[in-house]
Each structure stands twice: as structure tokens, then as C-alpha cells.
């Protein structure tokens, strides 16, 4: 009887021990590298996926991460658990995404990840069991020699925004410029520091830069904001110098240069008061009176030369210096006033008459303004050619 009892105890212990045996095929943990066929550069993002497949009931779990020596790293979101079916049976899946950034060149090893699991046997008793991934070795190339900042990214986006129109400022008004850098596949510290914005004449006040990061399955998305408040100098108009920095596209494996173009910052001349000239000194008044007298003598000489009748005065007005319409056309052209330029040109034609050359120039001007090509006409060139054609016509003898 005692022998039978002893046999039953040993059999029960043996059965329990067998239920705690884990088939290696029931628990798997793998680490894979995305685009493993590409040798990354130092500092370039390496995407890693830790994937567990479990065919046993799991009570508790904890993934123990290796030291990852030689890497900066970032976990891309929370761990993801989900179920799949294999041969009609439910299988639990575990997934974690990580971005690794090699800090040095050469061979680097990703040591095993260890998943510490608490399993249950047939008697609902808990027991611990660890599974390990295989170690991985990757080759890392040195970062290319560059004059500027080394920035390897999957994608780079740049936007240049202004708080208001930079070339239509009011008296004493400034404008806030915000440049936004969005780098996919880079950590915030990899974006170059905020550059110095320069201008020969503008007043520039930099603000502290801001940086943040968003996590995505494709890697971290780092965003930097560069901000300046800008005001034109005494000239009421200033040019901001362009900004340029280099980056490396890890998708196409090509280096590029990003340029943020130059920008004009200016007061709105239409809303500015006319400058008041300073009072003239006695010497200046004397010079002004003398100059006025010389001009009057010159005009009188021209009147005598052209004749004493009104036809001579009309020919005098054809000279660009004396015709107010000619001066108005030049002023509108200098200001880039398209409507004023055309309106004044039509007024000149109504006064002096049309000719094939001036008609052609006006038609070309209208085509540039109202045509499908999104390019503004060169008002200064139009005014110069239009006035030249008008002057040549007025100098021709009648009947020619």
C-alpha cells in the first residue's frame, strides 16, 4: 500500500513537471533591422522591430532591453499586443519599434533582448520563463566629411512664414519671421542650431528656438522653430540674406543643400507720409534762384527756337523732361504700379496719337499682365521703350 502511494506521488510530480516544459516553437522572440542590406552612416537612423510570437498563456511579462552600447536610441510609441491565427489557433503577438542612432563607425552589436514571461501550467500554477533574441551585428560607415552640419534624414520639410506681409509694413511696425524645420528620421538634437539671420540694413531681434518631437512607426519626427522679429532700417527697405544648410537623404542616399531664399522687408510707401524737406539756407536759396533763372532762360530759348505759335509749345511738351505725363509714367514704373503705368501710357497715346511701335508695346504689356504666364511685366523697361518710341515719333517731320 505504501508503495502504491509513493508511486502515485511520483507520477503526479512527473506530470506536473511535464506540463511546465516549454516547447521552443511555442515562444519566439526575434529582432529585425529594416533595410538591413544598406550600410548606415554614423548618426543615421536604424529602425529595429522586436517581435514576439507566443502560443502559451501569459500571465505577466517584461521586456528587458540590452545596454545598446554605441547607440543612441528612442522607443517609437508603446508596445503593441495583438492576436493572429496560425493553423486555426490563436497566437499572441508582441511588437516594439525602436530607432537606433549609431554613435561610432565600425562593427556594432545589438545584444539579445530578454522577454521575462510568467506562464501557467495545467493546474493554473504560475512559473517564470525567459526567452532571448539572437544578437545582431551591423557595420556602420563613418559620417562623410562636411564643412557644415551632418544631418541624415529620411525626409526634410522647410516652411517660411510671416506674421504679416513683410513688404507692406506701416511706420514703426515690425514683422515676425518663423522658419519651421521638420526632419523625419532624426532626433531633435540632430537638427542644426538656429543660424544667424543677417542683413546690411535691417534691425533683427532673434527669439529662443523651440524644438519638439513626434513619434511615428517610420521613426521620430523632429520639429524646430527659428524665429526673428525684423524691422527695416532708416532706408525703410532692407534685404535679408539667404540661409543655407546641407542634409543627407537616407532614402535616396544622396546629399542635398537646402536654401531659404533672400527676402525683402520694407515699409508700404503708399501709406507713408511725404518727407518734409528741411528749410533751405541762404546759400541754398541763392543757388535755387540762380538755377531757376537759368532754366527759365533755357525754356525761353527753346520757345524762340521752335516758334512763337502754339505748335512750337506742343513740340516742347514732347520732350520727356517737360511733359508731366512722361514724368508720371516713369514714377508709376519705378513703383511697380501696373494700373498706373498702363493708364498713363494710354493718356500719352491719346495726347500724341498712336503709332505701330507704341501700339505693339502696349499690347505686349497687356499680354504680360492678363496672359496665362504668371510673370509680372518689367514696368521700367516698358516705360523706357514706350517713351523712346513716342519721342522718335514726335521728332519725325510731318508727312514722313
CA atoms within 13 A on the CB side of 270: 6
Name residue 85's beta-bridge partners: 90
Rounded to whole angstroms, how far apart are CA atoms 329 and 341?
Answer: 6
Nearby residues of 155 by Cβ (< 8 Å), 6 or more positions away: 183, 184, 185, 249, 251
Backbone torsions φ then ψ of 309, nearest 5 degrees: -90, 175
Rounded to whole angstroms, how far apart are CA atoms 12 and 381?
Answer: 104
Q: CA dihedral in degrees (378, 381, 385, 387; nearest 10)?
A: 100
Among 238-242, 260-264, 373-377, the range scoring the smallest mean pLDDT is 373-377
Rounded to whole angstroms, how far apart are CA atoms 128 and 115?
Answer: 11
Q: Could you report the per-residue pLDDT of 103-117, keeping only the tens digit for each?
A: 999 999 999 999 999
pLDDT for 217: 86
Check: CB of residue 243 under 8 Å from CB of residue 223. Answer: no
C-alpha cell at 390: 513716342
Cβ atoms within 10 A of the Cβ of 99, count?
A: 23
* Per-state percent for the chain, helix, strand, coil, to nearest 5: 30, 35, 35
Of the pLDDT bands very low, low, confident and very high (cuts 50, 70, 90), residue 306 is very low
220-226-227 Cα angle (round to 5): 145
pLDDT for 186: 97
DSSP per-residue letters across 240-251? EPPEEEEEEETT
Looking at residues 311-323, what average pLDDT do you find? 51
pLDDT for 316: 44
Backbone torsions φ then ψ of 187, nearest 5 degrees: -85, 160
Judge whether residue 141 has pLDDT over 50. yes
Of the pLDDT bands very low, low, confident and very high (cuts 50, 70, 90), residue 281 is low
H/E run at residue 32: strand 27-33
Check: CB of residue 116 under 8 Å from CB of residue 61. Answer: yes
pLDDT for 399: 45
Looking at residues 284-301, what average pLDDT do you find? 54
C-alpha cell at 53: 510570437
| Model pTM score | 0.61
pLDDT for 395: 56
Cβ atoms within 10 A of the Cβ of 387, count?
A: 20
Among 44-48, 62-66, 179-183, 264-268, the range scoring the smallest mean pLDDT is 264-268
Structure-model confidence comparison of residues 364 and 70, the more confident one: 70
Number of helices followed by number of strands (H, E) in the chain: 7, 20
Structure-model confidence comparison of residues 396 and 185, the more confident one: 185
pLDDT for 400: 42
Rounded to whole angstroms, how far apart are CA atoms 273 and 264?
Answer: 21
Structure-model confidence comparison of residues 22 and 242, the more confident one: 242
pLDDT for 130: 94
Q: Is 182 exposed, middle or buried (0-12, 13-18, 19+ CB in 10 A)?
A: middle
Of the pLDDT bands very low, low, confident and very high (cuts 50, 70, 90), residue 326 is confident
Structure-model confidence comparison of residues 122 and 282, the more confident one: 122
Of the pLDDT bands very low, low, confident and very high (cuts 50, 70, 90), residue 41 is very high
Residue entry with cell 520727356: 320
Looking at residues 135-142, what average pLDDT do you find? 96
> What percent of the chain is predicted at pLDDT more than 70?
78
pLDDT for 374: 56
Check: CB of residue 220 under 8 Å from CB of residue 187. Answer: yes
Structure-model confidence comparison of residues 37 and 397, the more confident one: 37
Name residue 80's beta-bridge partners: 95
Question: Domains in the chain, please, with CATH?
Answer: 24-140 (2.60.40), 152-268 (2.60.40), 299-395 (no CATH)
3-state secondary structure of 124: coil
Structure-model confidence comparison of residues 222 and 391, the more confident one: 222
Bridge-based pairing of strands 58-64 and 175-184 is unpaired
Distances from the Cα of 57 to the Cα of 22, 60, 64, 118, 382, angstroms = 11, 9, 19, 9, 84
Rounded to whole angstroms, how far apart are CA atoms 86 and 55?
Answer: 10
Judge whether residue 14 has pLDDT over 70. no
- As a residue count, the chain comes to 400
Q: Could you report the per-residue pLDDT of 208-240, keeping only the tens digit for each?
A: 999 999 999 889 999 999 999 999 887 788 999
Going by C-alpha positions, the residue among 109, 129, 86 that lies closest to residue 31 is 109
Amino acid at each position: 500500500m505504501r508503495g502504491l502511494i509513493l508511486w502515485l506521488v511520483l507520477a503526479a510530480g512527473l506530470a506536473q513537471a511535464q506540463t511546465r516544459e516549454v516547447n521552443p516553437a511555442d515562444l519566439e522572440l526575434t529582432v529585425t533591422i529594416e533595410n538591413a542590406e544598406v550600410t548606415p552612416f554614423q548618426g543615421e537612423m536604424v529602425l529595429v522591430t522586436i517581435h514576439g510570437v507566443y502560443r502559451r498563456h501569459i500571465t505577466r511579462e517584461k521586456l528587458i532591453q540590452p545596454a545598446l552600447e554605441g547607440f543612441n536610441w528612442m522607443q517609437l510609441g508603446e508596445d503593441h499586443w495583438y492576436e493572429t491565427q496560425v493553423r486555426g489557433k490563436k497566437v499572441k503577438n508582441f511588437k516594439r519599434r525602436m530607432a537606433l542612432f549609431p554613435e561610432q563607425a565600425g562593427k556594432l552589436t545589438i545584444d539579445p533582448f530578454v522577454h521575462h514571461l510568467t506562464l501557467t501550467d495545467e493546474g493554473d500554477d504560475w512559473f517564470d520563463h525567459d526567452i532571448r533574441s539572437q544578437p545582431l551585428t551591423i557595420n556602420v560607415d563613418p559620417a562623410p566629411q562636411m564643412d557644415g552640419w551632418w544631418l541624415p534624414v529620411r525626409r526634410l520639410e522647410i516652411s517660411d512664414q510671416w506674421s504679416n506681409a513683410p513688404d507692406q509694413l506701416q511706420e514703426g511696425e515690425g514683422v515676425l519671421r518663423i522658419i519651421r524645420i521638420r526632419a523625419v528620421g532624426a532626433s531633435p538634437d540632430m537638427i542644426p542650431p538656429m543660424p544667424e539671420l543677417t542683413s546690411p540694413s535691417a534691425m533683427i531681434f532673434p527669439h529662443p528656438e523651440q524644438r519638439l518631437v513626434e513619434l511615428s512607426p517610420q521613426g521620430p519626427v523632429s520639429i524646430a522653430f527659428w524665429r526673428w522679429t525684423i524691422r527695416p532700417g532708416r532706408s525703410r527697405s532692407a534685404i535679408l540674406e539667404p540661409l543655407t544648410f546641407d542634409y543627407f537623404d537616407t532614402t535616396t542616399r544622396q546629399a542635398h543643400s537646402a536654401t531659404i531664399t533672400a527676402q525683402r522687408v520694407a515699409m508700404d510707401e503708399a501709406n507713408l507720409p511725404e518727407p518734409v524737406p528741411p528749410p533751405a539756407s541762404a546759400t541754398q536759396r541763392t543757388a535755387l534762384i540762380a538755377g531757376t533763372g537759368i532754366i527759365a532762360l533755357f525754356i525761353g530759348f527753346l520757345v524762340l527756337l521752335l516758334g512763337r505759335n502754339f505748335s512750337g509749345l506742343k513740340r516742347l511738351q514732347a520732350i520727356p523732361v517737360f511733359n508731366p505725363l512722361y514724368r508720371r509714367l516713369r514714377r508709376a514704373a519705378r513703383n511697380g504700379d501696373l494700373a498706373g503705368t498702363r493708364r498713363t501710357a494710354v493718356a500719352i497715346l491719346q495726347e500724341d496719337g498712336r503709332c505701330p511701335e507704341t501700339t505693339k508695346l502696349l499690347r505686349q504689356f497687356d499680354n504680360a499682365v492678363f496672359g496665362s504666364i504668371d510673370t509680372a511685366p518689367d514696368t521700367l523697361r516698358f516705360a523706357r521703350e514706350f517713351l523712346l518710341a513716342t519721342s522718335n515719333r514726335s521728332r519725325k517731320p510731318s508727312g514722313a
